[in-house]
Amino acid sequence: MKRVVLALGSNEGDRAGFLEKSCELIGCRVGKVTRCSRVYETEAWGFEAPPFLNQAIIVETELSPDEVLHVTQQIEKKLGRTCKSGRTSEGNPIYHNRTIDIDILLYEGVACETPQLTLPHPHISERDFVLLPLSDLFGDTVVPPFHQSFQQMLNKLKTEN
In tens, the pLDDT along 123-141 reads: 899 889 999 999 999 999 9
d(CA 110, CA 91): 27
Provide the CATH topology of domain 2-122.
Alpha-Beta Plaits (3.30.70)
C-alpha of 96 from chain center:
15
Answer whether residue 17 shows pLDDT above 70: yes
What percent of the chain shows pLDDT beyond 90? 73
Residue 81 contacts residue 30 (beta carbons within 8 Å): no
Integer Cα distance of 98 and 3 in angstroms: 26
Question: What confidence tens digit (pLDDT) does each residue in 22-80 have?
Answer: 999 999 999 999 999 999 999 887 778 899 999 999 999 999 999 999 999 999 999 98
* pTM, entire model: 0.91
